């Protein structure tokens, strides 16, 4: 079964702790993306990667970090520097530019 998996589905953390969200795809897609969605709003791009070992900042990269050591995996770390980390985080992948992006099921992060 090809697809994108994100884990965990729900994540609770205390303020000041770093947390890493997992994103894995077995679609053999080159490009991967991380978005943040706040209630009642659209998606905002955090980071994206078009090839292994390379990634670029999106519109709201501050307080986040990523790595792309393998084609299948694009983990996102939410650091303690992120001022308001509580949100729904969506990972996506696409075969290449000009192709639609396919989304994972999302991780809902709550920081208290």
Partner 1 sequence: ELKVEQNPLFLSMQEGKNYTIYCNYSTTSDRLYWYRQDPGKSLESLFVLLSNGAVKQEGRLMASLDTKARLSTLHITAAVHDLSATYFCAAEGETSGSRLTFGEGTQLTVNP
Which residues in this chain contact partner 1 in the complex, by CB under 8 A? Answer: 31, 33, 40-45, 48, 50, 56, 58, 90, 92, 94, 96-106
Q: Are 16 and 80 in contact (CB under 8 A)?
A: yes
Minimal distance, residue 100 CB to partner 1, in Å: 5
CB of 30 to partner 1, least distance (A): 9
Report how far apart, in Å, the C-alpha atoms of 18 and of each of 2, 25, 38 are.
30, 23, 19
Q: Which is nearer to partner 1, 8 or 81 (CB)?
A: 8
Close Cβ partners of 82 (under 8 Å, ≥ 6 residues apart): 62, 63, 64
* CB-nearer residue toward partner 1: 57 or 70: 57
């Amino acid at each position: 079964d090809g697809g994108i998996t994100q884990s965990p589905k729900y994540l609770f953390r205390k303020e000041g702790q770093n947390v890493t969200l997992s994103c894995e795809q077995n679609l053999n897609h080159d490009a991967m993306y991380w978005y943040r969605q706040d209630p009642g709003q659209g998606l905002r791009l955090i980071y994206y990667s078009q090839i292994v070992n390379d990634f670029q900042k999106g519109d709201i990269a501050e307080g986040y970090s990523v790595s792309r050591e393998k084609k299948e995996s694009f983990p996102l770390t939410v650091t303690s520097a992120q001022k308001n980390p509580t949100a729904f985080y969506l990972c996506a992948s696409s075969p290449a530019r000009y192709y639609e992006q396919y989304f994972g099921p999302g991780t809902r992060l709550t920081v208290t």
